[in-house]
Every structure is written in C-alpha cells, then in structure tokens.
Structure 1
C-alpha cells in the first residue's frame, strides 16, 4: 500500500518532462489527391520532428479536403454532386490501411505523436459511410486510437455519419495525457465536459477554417454567406473563444489547427468546382494557435500562411493554473453534478450465438451436467456484456 501511495504522491505532469514542444501544421489541403496529401503530411511530420516537436497536429479532415466547402443539397446539379461525392469517397481513409501505415512510418521516423484529421470510410463490412475523424499515431508508428465526430454541424450532415462515445477518451503517453475533439464539439457542453474530466494535459482541437457569421452592416444587420472569412482581431471566430476557454477549464495546453485552402490547391481536374455556386472556401484561411492552461496564446493565431506553428509547453504552467482552478479537483462537485458517458460501441448487428449453436450448448450441457436452460441464461448475460464493450 505504501508503494501505491508513493506513486500517487509523485505523479508527474508530461510524464516527467519539464517541457514538451508541440506543432500545429497549417498545411494546405489538396483537393481529392489522397496520395499527394499524405506525401505532404509526411514531409511536415518529419520537419516538425526535426525541429524538436513531440506532438504534431493537422486540421479537420485534412485528407482529402473538408467536404462541406461544397454546400450541396437537394437542388444541386446532379453531375457536379455526383463527381464531388464519388471523388470524396475514393480519396477517403480506411483505418487501418496502407495509407495509415505510410503516415505511421513518418511518425516513427520523426519520433512524434501525431493527430491527423481525415475523412474516414466506415470499416464495417459493406458500409461506405464517411466519418469526420481524428487519428492518433504514436512515435512507434502505431495507431493509438481514433475519434469520430459525434455530431456533424449544419451542412456537414450531408457528408458524415455520427460517432459514438466509445472513442471519447484520453491517451496516457510518455509526454503526457493527450485528448482531442473536433470543431463544434468544443461547444457541445456535456461532450467537452466528459473529455475534460478524463484529465488531459494536451488537447488537440481541429477546425475547417476561421469564420464569422456573415458580414455586419452599419445598422448591425448581417449580409452575405452564412460563413464569412475573418482574420480580424475585432471580429473573431467563435473558435478562438472556444479554445481559450477549453484550455482554462481543462487546465491543459490546446493545440488548435484550422483548414487552409487556396485556388492553387485544387487538382487540375477539379478546378471547375472553384466557380460552382455551391462552393465557398473563402473562410479556409487557417488560424493555427497554441494556448496555455491560463487561456493565453503562446503562439499564433497565424492566418493565410502555409506554415508550422510551434510552442514550448512547460509542465509547471499546468501546476500553477490548477492552484487557481482545478476542474477535476477542488472545483469538482460530484455530490451535486455527475456525468454519465456511454463509452461502448454501438452496433446494428449482434450475433446471438457468438459462434455457439444450439447443438454446441446441448453437448456442453450433457458433458458438464449443467442444465441447458442455465447455460442459455449465462450465455445471454455474457453476450449482453460483450455487446456493451
């Protein structure tokens, strides 16, 4: 017991490291060229690693592009809609796959942890649903986990399915505890609370760009498109409020990466989409930033640049911030408020036999002299438990 108590008393921040360098990779999305996107990603991972970064993050659905720049709906031109969606499916990422192996190798060569934003194609046999997904790679090249966005926002629902609570978690690593959420999950009150309550030290937040809700006119009204690009300090995107508040509430460092897309980033065969009335990527202007546990910027935000934003994160800042506000400690009131997380995977096909036929059960019953009815009840309980994992 004394040994366990000592381990708890001596628990460290950042796995005992005083400082960890992190990197927000603001690289342009390459529209519907998965191979080129992966090649660029691997180059940036290695560059960040060579510059001392131990944790590297990319923007939302970096591979192959954030699909909802193209605001397709029922009134869309069918030929254009067809081409966009087929290209999106053809260039999306399966987990695991040869694509993830290539990215993993780059992480291993660079010796970094990496959170990569992708359009993920469902790994369920026969399914082709896409998910807005973050993949966490380890410095050994392995996939440590993935997170599928729980609720697609606005017209994202035309493209992405809904994740579940099974991949809402924090990963204990040798550089600290890493967690991640996507875009407006940072406004989803109970989701972000659940993520915070797992005790992050580094939090990855990725986004499709930097926006405001239309342009304001002199009379205070709004005009133009719903999402309008903004890089102005006096007219900030809600993501800037979200990452600073998240950092303060969780007592973690937030690495925030937003999408960057320019006309030259469209592959030649897809450049005609630039002039489509359904297309708007004007707000894909980046905005990479890194925030400390006091909610202060320590790097960025940086707009309109193809760049990597770095920051050195100091473990003592977490310790100091939690003296003031510790959401898992002295500011936590589980006697008053508790949160239930459903952390099991949801499935639409459950096999009741789990490989055991009625004859199998009958044979087991006869050989063990355990009544068949009792075996069936035990098996039913086991199957229920398994289905919840």
Structure 2
C-alpha cells in the first residue's frame, strides 16, 4: 500500500522525574531520548510534567506547608523557548525523532501544565496547555485555551494529545478526532503512587479505561504514558516510611491499538521504555466498523463547535499613544 498507511516505531518512557530540578530533568530527558533512538524509535513520549516533576505536595500538604515547594516549582519550570527547550530540541534532532514531553511551563507570573512537541529537526511544532487543571492542581497551574487542540502533522500521521483527566472531556477528545487524529499522546502522573489522593486506588483502572476507550472511539493509536515516584522524591517530601501518603513506583503505561487492544505493556512501578510498531493500516481496518468523524457521525443531530484561537488578556483598540509598547 506504499506510503498511504505508514508504519512508525514509538516509545513510551515510564520514568521518575528528578524532583523540582529542571537541569537534571533535561539531562535525563536527553539521555532517554538517545536511548530510545538507539532502539529505532521515531516518536518518543514522556509523562505529564516530566520536567521538573509532578507537584505531589498539592495532595499531601496544606497551602502553607506546600508553599516552599511551589516556589521551587516556579524556579524550575520551563519558559518556551529557552535554553532547556533548545537542549531537548538538540536531542530530538540528534535522535532523528519526534519528541513529546510534559513540562511545567512558566509564562509571566503563571504556570501551565503543558505538552511540548518537537519535530525530528529539533523545532517546537506544537504546544498544548491543560485546559482545566484537575481539583487541587488549580492551586499551581492556570488554564490553557483551544489553540493547543490543533494537531501536529508528521510524516507518519496526525499527532495530538491530552493530559490526565482531560480524557474525561469528551468534547476535547472529539475536537482531536474531528481533525483526523491518528496517534494520540495520553500523558498522566503516577497517580496510584500518591496514596493520599482519594482517587489513587482506582487511578490505574480509570487510566486504562480512558486510554483504551479513546483509542477505540476515535479510531487512533494511543501512547499512554505515566511517570513513577522514586525514593529521592519521597525523602524530599518528608514521607519516608509513610506509604499511606506516597509510595515508591506507581504509574500505568501502555501502547494501544485503534481496536482498544494493548500492543505494549501495561507497565507499572519500575522505570522502563515501552516500544511498539504502529501500522496505520489498522486505523483504516477499524474505521470499517465505526468512523466517528465520517459514516458514524450525525452532524445533523450532534455537532461540535471549537474555538482554536489563543485567548489574550489585552486587546488594543483605538489609536496607540506615541512611544507606547503596544505599538512596538
């Protein structure tokens, strides 16, 4: 069938973040990109806020006791572009691979939970900010907008992604499907390791259900990738010997076919990289059953409206004063 249905080898990185340490996080990201590239991966995916790590303390500390960690999160978050993004881009270019990495992004005085997309030349080609931070995440991150719902075109297919509980936002998922998403990045934290989180006991089950359903309902491949928690992070949080608060390990990572079947994984607890070859002909085969944006759609009954425009806090109207920075 030639290039109509390409194949691509992908990698899902299941690893622990160097906690609140941007430089160490970038170092580890670059090393893992190189490792996955040696195995032939053309698309390499990292978990939610892999750099500088997920803010576990929001589930375990009060606002007062958590504030020093928040200051460290601010100091170690990534501005886009920056030296940190240049280094990740260099690693992607050296690997000849597309890379998607979760970061805590700093833009002005606000942080965002962001997926950053690099192409195989090392250029930033996409950015998605989590639309609604979940529950107590709202104490550290702002909200994204529809500009991050646009897909990234790659030589091997249309690439999109969502972060954690955005997978419960069916309209956001369908916004990706309606653009012809073929490969989906599902980025999550190690929710099952944060024992004090009331959802920790069901987190892996919910993750699996969400990822497999998105694959089947949108007829796309899903690279579901979570992090794990290491001993150093637990020590930093002051929870050594308190697994009822935070335990080592965690995470549920897998690579899933459009049929909902698992191609690689699932993997939990220990660091690894999962690999799978995606044959995009499987999408065409399964769309015979259901094409959610084609023969199985009913736009005369149900239709989605999406605002893809970035939302600005200031819009200039009228004449601009001389020497005003607005006109610069």
Q: Structure 1 length normalisation: TM-score?
A: 0.77
Shift of 1:280: 4.0
Q: 1:307 aligns with which of 272, 276, 282?
A: 272
Counterpart of 1:373 in structure 2 is none
- CA drift of 1:68 comes to 3.8
Aligned length: 322
1:199-278 pair list within 5 angstroms:
199-211=180-192, 226-229=198-201, 236-265=204-233, 271=236, 273-274=238-239
1:71 corresponds, among 38, 41, 59, to: 59
Q: What CA RMSD, in Å, does the superposition of the two structures yield over aligned residues?
A: 2.6
Retained in 2: the 8 A contact 1:68–1:159? no
1:138 equivalent in structure 2: 119
What secondary structure does 1:247 align onto?
helix
Q: State whether residues 263 and 274 of structure 1, in contact with CA within 8 Å, keep that contact through their aligned partners in structure 2.
A: no
Q: Does 1:60 align with 2:48?
A: yes
**What are structure 1's unaligned runs of at least 5 residues?**
1-9, 215-223, 358-389
- Does 1:20 pair with 2:8? yes
For 2:92 and 2:198, the matched residues in 1 are separated by 38
- Look up the SS of the partner of 1:179 in the other structure: strand
| CA spacing shift, 1:280–1:128, aligned 2, 3 Å | farther
Deviations 1:288-309 (A, max 9, x none): 1000000000111101121100
Cα 1:351/1:175, change in 2 over 3 Å: same
How many Å separate the matches in 1 of 2:237 and 2:161?
A: 35
8 Å contact 2:204–2:251 — kept in the other structure? no
Give the alignment's TM-score, normalised by structure 2: 0.91
Cα-to-partner distance string for 1:165-205 (whole Å, 9 max, x where unaligned): 11111111111110011011111121111111111110000
Q: Does 1:111 align with 2:99?
A: no
* CA separation of 1:280 and 1:56: change in aligned 2, threshold 3 A: farther
Runs of 4+ in 1 over 6 A off after TM superposition: none
Deviations along 1:321-375, whole A, 9 cap, x unmatched? 1111111110011111111101111111112257587xxxxxxxxxxxxxxxxxx
Contact 1:68 1:156 in 2 (8 A): no
- CA 1:154 to 1:284, structure 2 compared with 1: closer, same or farther past 3 Å? farther
Larger C-alpha radius of gyration, 1 or 2?
1
Q: Which residue does the alignment assign to 1:85? A: 70
> Could you tell me how far 1:139 is from its partner in structure 2?
0.3
Query: Which residues of structure 2 form unaligned runs of 5+?
Result: 323-328
